[in-house]
Amino acid sequence: MESILFLGTCEEDGSLGKPARETLGVASQLAAQLRASFAVGLIGTSVQEAANQAADSGATRFLGVCGSDFSHSRYATDAAAAEALCRAANATLILAPGTSRLMRCLPGVAHRLNGRADTHVTAVAANEGAITAQRWYYRQRMEARFTRSHRPWFILIDPGAAPVWSGTSRKVEVENIEVVLPDSARKTEVTGFREPEAGLNTIRPDADLLFVVGAGWTKKQPDGKVHAAEAEQLILEFLKHTRCSLGSSKSLVDLGSEGQPVLSFLSHLNQIGQTGSTPRHPKGLATCCHGEEPHTIGWRFISERRAINLDPQCGWARGKADVLYVADAFAVLKRVNELLKGT
Ligand SMILES: Cc1cc2nc3c(=O)[nH]c(=O)nc-3n(C[C@H](O)[C@H](O)[C@H](O)COP(=O)(O)OP(=O)(O)OC[C@H]3O[C@@H](n4cnc5c(N)ncnc54)[C@H](O)[C@@H]3O)c2cc1C
């Protein structure tokens, strides 16, 4: 019989973050389908609150590695904690959120336990007792379903791929798992977080809306002039009001390195598409972006897609968007910002 362990790290306030609750839902459902034993394993300064949050998940054991040594992402301490939790739970199947913190240490933990690890998994299912994992390959163009007989099997679920699990919070008994750290495990010290230099964090994976800007914002407009400063101000105001995540086409971010006018807060990290990212947001709005295939491939996981473009023949009109507004994005955004401001 499988022994399933949900493995998660606690947020700074001691709670379970969104990616962790998504994976908890997957683990809980799988355990119920397989009638497998199910434990929750947590790492953090204090894990009680997170364990209470998971009270309704069907888990019968709640294990924790706690203390200030485990408050922040650090390979040596996270790996030691995760290894101890897997051993204590005698886990054959470990499901963990694919956060940067756990992606960094769990493949190493799998190696220590002579296990196997799969990352970027988007779904896990049980079919007649066999567990199948699902993930995308070749820049989200091919989807594969696969299974493994080797145990322990570590499965890291991509954030945003599963619904967020929630249940009633209730006090549970947490088994404290002792981890004795060698001094060498404390060699790396986490001194804090650094924001991008512009002081504006425009990439927000948890936002409901992905707002994409294209090269059109810096191109000559019908009056024959470029309005880059106005574009920057309109976009910044929209970001401030909506707290959306900012994406860009490749053409726009490339313009910066070519010395042409570009929005100062954009970097290649904002690029969506074949050679950029493939984020997951419930809604997307593209502006001044043509909607070519290498760009829209990055929209695969955006559920509701809209675009604003002057050209009724643009790529978005050819089945890439649910709604295309054939309009001037400068005028639309100006009016939308007024509405958001309540004027
Ligand atoms: C191997 C390869 C990989 C690539 N990878 C990527 C990738 O990862 N991501 C990516 O984005 N691209 C990628 N590209 C490039 C991609 O093919 C396109 O060239 C790019 O997406 C075009 O960017 P754009 O739509 O912003 O610019 P443009 O094609 O210049 O389009 C600008 C649009 O703005 C509109 N516009 C102008 N003014 C206004 C206005 N006032 N209101 C409304 N609309 C207006 C115009 O009608 C036009 O449609 C890749 C290409 C290759 C060959």
How confident is the prediction for the chain on average, in pLDDT? 94
60 secondary structure, DSSP code: S
CA distances from 121 to 21, 46, 109 (A): 15, 28, 18
Residue whose C-alpha is closest to residue 140's, from 312, 274, 341, 7: 274
The CA distance from 205 to 246, in Å, is 10
> Mean of the pLDDT values across residues 312-326?
97
Pick the CATH number of 3-186 from 3.20.20.70, 3.40.50.1700, 3.40.50.620, 3.90.1150.10: 3.40.50.620
Q: Cβ(249) to ligand 1 under 6 A?
A: yes
Assess contact for 21 and 27: CB atoms under 8 A.
no
Q: Is 74 in the pocket of ligand 1 (CB under 6 A)?
A: no
- How many A from CA of 233 to the centre of ligand 1? 21
Q: Which residue has the tokens 């643009």?
A: 314
Rg for the chain, CA atoms, rounded = 23
Q: Ligand 1: distance of its center to the CA of 261 in Å?
A: 16
Q: Among 10-24, 67-81, 263-277, name the one with the lowest average pLDDT.
A: 263-277
For residue 257, count CB atoms less than 10 angstroms from its CB and return exposed for 0-12, middle for 13-18, buried for 19 or more: exposed
pTM: 0.81
Distance CA 91, CA 36 (A): 11
Rounded average pLDDT over 61-66 = 98
In this model, does residue 146 exceed pLDDT 90? Answer: yes
The 3-state DSSP class for residue 3 equals strand
Indicate if 209-341 has the same CATH topology as 3-186: yes
For residue 73, the model assigns a pLDDT of 95
Q: What is the mean pLDDT of residues 11-37?
A: 96
Please report the atom of ligand 1 found closest to the CA of residue 273: 8
Q: Which fold has domain 209-341?
A: Rossmann fold (3.40.50)
Can you give the pLDDT at residue 328?
97
CA-nearest residue, atom 19 of ligand 1 = 251
- Which sequence spans correspond to the domains of the chain? 3-186, 209-341
pLDDT in tens, 75-110: 999 999 999 999 999 999 999 999 999 999 999 999
DSSP 277: B
What spacing in Å lies between the alpha carbon of 339 and ligand 1's midpoint? 28
Kindly tell me if the per-residue pLDDT of 178 is higher than 70.
Answer: yes
**What's the rounded Cα separation, in Å, for the pair 217 and 21?**
38
User: How many angstroms is it from 52 CA to the middle of ligand 1?
Assistant: 48
Ligand 1 centroid to Cα of residue 288, in Å, is 8
Cα–Cα distances (Å) from 295 to 247, 298, 304, in that order, read: 11, 6, 16
Residue that has been written with the tokens 């959120």 in this structure: 97
Task: Choose among 199, 317, 307, 176: nearest CA to 247.
Answer: 307
> Is the link from the previous residue into 152 a cis peptide, with omega within 30 of 0?
yes
Cβ–Cβ < 8 Å for 60, 82: no
Position 261 confidence tier, pLDDT thresholds 50, 70, 90:
low
Sign of the Cα pseudo-torsion (219, 222, 224, 226, in order):
negative
